[in-house]
Structure 1
Amino acid sequence: MGNRKKIKLNVRFSNGQVICAKSPNQCKGCKEECDRMDFYYDPYKHSDIIECFKNSERRR
């Protein structure tokens, strides 16, 4: 992991729940105003994801 990635999303909330979350370039038809937010995440390597699935299959 190590290198955090940043993603920008337009997010719409209603009663404390996320109703819609889209990339700004795909959010064009909305009539309501969305909150523009930056999110940061740590991407997983493909090998780490495969290992996780292997471990979950072993538990079954």
Structure 2
Amino acid sequence: MRNLESKNVLLHDRATIDISVGLTWCHWLIQNGYETDFEQYIHHYPDKRGERLANIYPYELLG
């Protein structure tokens, strides 16, 4: 998402990454020997989703 916004692609206030992207990335991390027990924080969505836990990824994984 940040890459899109940094390239001036406007996202609406409800835009989120599809969960399948996160699941696929997590499977790739496991298959390649990375630890996937990440610290989490409470993320607040302004819509009906409210508060949800979100992972805090290490910078070295966020290429």
Higher relative contact order (CA 8 A, sep 6+): 1
TM-score normalised per structure 1? 0.32
More helix by share: 2
Larger Rg: 1
TM-score normalised per structure 2? 0.30
